[in-house]
Amino acid sequence: MTSPSERAYKKRNYKAQNHYQISATSNYNTKPIKFHCESNTAMSNDQQQALLILSKQGAFAVTTIPKPLPIPKGELLVKVHAAALDHIDWKIQAYGLLYPEDKYPVIPGLDIAGEVEEVGEGVIHFQKGDRVFFSGDFRNEYSGYQQYTRVPADIVAKIPEKLSYSQAASIPVGIATAAIGLHACRHESSVKDIKGKTALVIGASGSVGQFGATDCIDRAKVPFSTLTRSIINSTSTSSTPVEVVYDAFGSAESQLAGYDTLVKGGALISTGPNQFKDRSEGDGKTFIGVYGNTHVEKNRAFSSQLFENLPLMIERGIIVPNEVEDLEGGLNGIADGLKRLRDGEISGVKLVANPQETKV
């Protein structure tokens, strides 16, 4: 079923012109990333610019659509100043993931920072002008690649003064996915309390995996096939000491290597879907697939606490933002940024767009 506001979105005509393609060379690719460019005219006050995927595995288009109004009770309308790029954004376009056909056109974007424009009824902790950051959702009214978005106020944090909008936008999805996997999913895990346990993080230089590694193994020098042996050698033990693996890469290969690296009864937490269902060998190991979405019921209470504590953790230097690269062209710079992300050209940096810089 679609909500009234979703229907209002869909009723509009998302017409796009001047079609061109960005060629793609990725092995993952089923179709090239396509992009439409609309020649927009002046916008009225209840309109905004947004980046849409027009149809399942269809083209990207920057176009004029209505702002996500009205604001329901308990929510905020936020003017988006920074939207960071995530892998899921290009995967939605390339593979047609997550959204059924009748939900198109789709506005992606989940890592968001901006300024409170308006508060809904019942909101007491935020006011117009507050600088805030949060995770978006897979619903158009709550996503990041648009100039205005909505968010329920219980899963929003104020941006500490020392952070720019771009730095703030680099944090939400990564921290939520890391924390939900390690803490909120504990009841699903064979390892109930991870404190003091030896843990391996695969993909520890990335947005999700960066939160907490102490010793590093260079993936260029140690392939997945020799990972377990390398850990045993480096820890001078006769068998693997690893009780928890957080696989922030999420491929079949990384999951298998992570699984084999675990002690009996250990827990593998992965950002990817379970790709080795037949692997269970009666060894008491558990697999947990993380869904880092802060909006869903299952994660909501934990996410609310997480975002309440996040500003203090940043002030104290416990959580540090990613390095960021600001893209040019506002929303028009995103499709090219997603292509770089998909082609594996980005390492150790978060690409960020400022939707307000979109030329009309």
Ligand X SMILES: NC(=O)c1ccc[n+]([C@@H]2O[C@H](COP(=O)([O-])OP(=O)(O)OC[C@H]3O[C@@H](n4cnc5c(N)ncnc54)[C@H](OP(=O)(O)O)[C@@H]3O)[C@@H](O)[C@H]2O)c1
Where does this chain bind ligand X (CB under 6 A)? 86-88, 173-174, 177, 203-209, 219, 248-250, 254, 271, 290-292, 347-348
In the complex, the smallest distance separating the C-beta of residue 83 from ligand X, rounded to whole angstroms, is 14
207 or 228: whose CB is closer to ligand X? Answer: 207
Among 119, 150, 135, smallest CA distance to 9 is for: 150
Instruction: Give exposure, 251-286, as e/b (b: 16+ Cβ within 10 Å).
Output: beebbbbbbbbbbeebbbbbbeeebeeeeeeeeebb
**Torsion angles phi and psi, residue 201, rounded to 5:** -110, 120
DSSP state of 129: T
Nearer to ligand X, 147 or 170 (CB): 170
Among residues 178, 203, 119, the alpha carbon closest in space to that of 299 is found at: 178
Residue 360 to residue 348: CA distance in whole angstroms: 32
The residue number with the shortest CB distance to ligand X is 206
**86 neighbors 145 (Cβ within 8 angstroms):** no
Looking up tokens 């205005």 gives 148
Shorter beta-carbon distance to ligand X: residue 123 or 182: 182
Smallest distance from ligand X to CB 350, Å? 7
Beta bridge partner(s), residue 325: 351
Closest distance of CB 178 from ligand X, Å: 9
Q: How far is the CB of 132 from ligand X (least distance, A)?
A: 20
For ligand X, give the closer residue by CB, 71 or 178. 178
Q: How far is the CB of 93 from ligand X (least distance, A)?
A: 13
Nearer to ligand X, 35 or 249 (CB): 249
CB closer to ligand X out of 146 and 294: 294
| 176: its two tokens | 């939520």
What torsion, rounded to 10 degrees, do the Cα atoms 215, 221, 226, 231 define?
-20
Residue 3 C-beta: closest distance to ligand X, Å: 23
Report the sign of the C-alpha dihedral through residues 33, 38, 43, 46, in that order.
negative
**Cα separation values, 127 from 81, 138, 351, Å:** 17, 25, 28
Strands 350-353 and 75-84: antiparallel
CB of 91 to ligand X, least distance (A): 6
Q: Nearest distance from residue 220's CB to ligand X, in Å?
A: 8
For the chain, what is the radius of gyration of the CA atoms? 21
Residue closer to ligand X, measured from CB, 206 or 337: 206
In the complex with ligand X, the residue whose CB is nearer, 87 or 158, is 87
65 versus 83: smaller Cβ distance to ligand X: 83
How near is the Cβ of 194 to ligand X at its closest, in Å?
Answer: 18
Structure tokens at 350: 């978060």
